Amino acid sequence: MNLETFLLKDKIQEIENGFKIKNGWLLICESTYDEIESKGIYCALIKNKYLEKYSSSHSWPINYGYEGKSNVYGDNSYQTYDNEEVEPFLFRKSFNIKDGIKKYIDVGEEFILFYRLFEEVADKQNRVYYFVNDYGELDEVIVVEPNKVKIKLKYLKEYITMRDMHFFISFEYMILRKTIDKDWNLEFIDKDFSNENYFYNHLIRNDMGTYQSWILGNYFIKPNVSKRSYLDFDNFHCEEFIIGIDENGEIILKNPKYESKGNFTFTYFKKEVLNKYYNNPIEYEIDSFSVSNKYFRLKIDNNLENIIPVLLTDLLILPENEQLHWKQYNIPITEDLKLSSTYYKTMILGNWYESPESIDLYFKHLYNDFNKKWYQKFGWNLYKPLAKEDEFNFKALHLITENNIKSFCEQTLTIVKLTIDRINEKEIVKGIELEPNTKGISKFQKFLESKNMDIPDLFEFLRHLQSLRSGLIAHTFSNSNKECKKALEYFNFNERNLIDIQKEIFKKSIRTFSTLETHLL
């Protein structure tokens, strides 16, 4: 341990930083203890009119386990809080039950009710509270761990603003040492430090043969200047979009009209924003770099798995109702700039791309490319061309963005229609001897065997995919359908996310193209 560590310089930096964690989060509870070093962080709400009293002291307004919630006094009077000036925000609970001591941290019910937070529980010591917006989307607000709690600053600031309160983060840091280095030239102090944001005491002494460095105090989180809800999206103009997060955890919004055409400022959207257009393939076209109809063509980066980057100025092309649609999926991201290499090389550097990066677009790219190469080799298409009335299936095919069985079935059925259902049986059976009632996949297997290709893994996948289509997607499910049950086991339906299963189907379909191309083309 060096002198700066003993002097708690890094802890002082935490205080001056306001206990802020990156991306708009705030640390409001943490406890670690050992024989040498200990750390304690806790919190409380202080009514504004009592701020001066508590902001001029290093003593904690509330201590661990002594929150003073719901008391009955000697005259049998009931009081919600022990101290009318101070309100607990967290509650450290401990229960000595037969199988041991159980401990966890609870969050004040007032805050949870204010935002109507949804609680997701792994166990009592590990919980996450979410704000649920009008579209059913979740935004993390509080994360509770066994000895640590963090909160998103923007929600806390709005809450204390609406309640006319300050938020205190109480802190204690201590280091104890039996000996110190002679060259430290240590000076003993017992000194208060304060400004508009904090008040703390730093004590350095030798206490009965032990050197002690101890910081105790409070940090003050102020309410906002004016009372307004950060979550009321009606307050924002529809043409404003998120371009980042500031140091207070606030999203930064900007109107595309005020952005210079020469700037490369990006805003980001959830991939779900495209579902509206995929669900109407007759009107809309979607590719690696755009979504369009006869009224507009918006340039996008459609090569990343979970997000859609868009140049802020490009959004000016959208009609007002389309801007409103995109705004509901607008999100901040942690990276300064996140683009696919395909988009960067093509749209920024001006070099033409070879293939899309997104697995669904890559599948469609390879599907067409493979069919062309097959035709050049054999003079006929392995996958028969779609009728004009069925072309919408190809346009609407995409990787699902939610764990939704309906969407999964629709998209998986499309993959089967484009591959297994479109195998050109008329051509592949020419010159091959077949048993009576041989079906399509078996005919294809015999064709490849005639080309000296034996690929059992490929046909295992195709048969299970066909069984999945027949037993779950195209028809109602039946427990008596043994082949469908085998397919569900093959794709591990009971334990996997549907998005991951569909990725596997895309990947193995792509592998089918590449395997056939390697051996035959």
Q: What is the per-residue pLDDT for 213?
A: 94
pLDDT at 290 over 80: yes
Instruction: Report yes or no: 32 and 159 within 8 Å, Cβ to Cβ.
Output: no
Whether the Cβ atoms of residue 300 and residue 289 lie closer than 8 Å to each other: yes
The reported pTM is 0.56
The pair of three-digit structure tokens given for residue 497, joined into one six-digit string:
């996310």
pLDDT tens-digit map of 179-204:
888 888 888 999 999 999 999 999 99
In this predicted structure, what is the pLDDT of residue 65?
A: 75
Q: How confident is the model at residue 234 (pLDDT cuts 50, 70, 90)?
A: very low
Distance CA 121, CA 118 (A): 10
Residue 55 reports pLDDT greater than 70: yes
Q: Is the pLDDT of residue 248 over 70?
A: yes
pLDDT given at position 235: 45
- Confidence (pLDDT) at 197: 94
Per-residue pLDDT at 519: 87
Strands 290-292 and 266-270, by their bridges, are: unpaired
d(CA 314, CA 152) in angstroms, rounded, equals 31
3-state secondary structure 341-391: HHHHHHHHCCCCCCCCCCHHHHHHHHHHHHHHHHHHHHCCCCECCCCHHHH
Please state, in angstroms and rounded to a whole number, the distance separating the CA atoms of residues 290 and 269. 14
Angle, nearest 10°, between helix axes 440-450 and 456-468?
Answer: 170
Asked if residue 238 has pLDDT above 60, the reply is no
pLDDT at 230 over 60: no
pLDDT at 460 over 90: yes
Determine the 3-state secondary structure of 409 from DSSP: helix
CA separation for the pair 61, 218 (Å, rounded) = 9
Instruction: Name the least confident of 168-182, 205-219, 477-491.
Output: 477-491
pLDDT category at 379 given cuts 50, 70, 90 is: very high
Strand partners, 172: 40, 216
Residue 475 confidence (pLDDT): 63
Percentage of residues of the chain with pLDDT beyond 70: 95
* Structural tokens at position 125: 């010591």
> Which pLDDT score, from 0 to 100, does residue 134 have?
58
- pLDDT, mean over the chain: 89
Residue 260 has a pLDDT of: 79
Mean pLDDT of all residues in 413-438: 91
**3-state class of 245 per DSSP?**
strand
> Distance between CA 412 and CA 473 in Å, rounded?
8
Task: Tell me the pLDDT tens digit for each residue of 111-170.
Answer: 999 999 999 999 999 999 999 875 467 899 999 999 899 999 999 999 999 999 999 999
Token couple for 405: 């069985």
Residue 229, pLDDT score: 61
**Res. 436: pLDDT tops 50:** yes
Q: How far apart are CA 461 and CA 363, in angstroms?
A: 16
Q: What is the pLDDT of residue 299?
A: 95
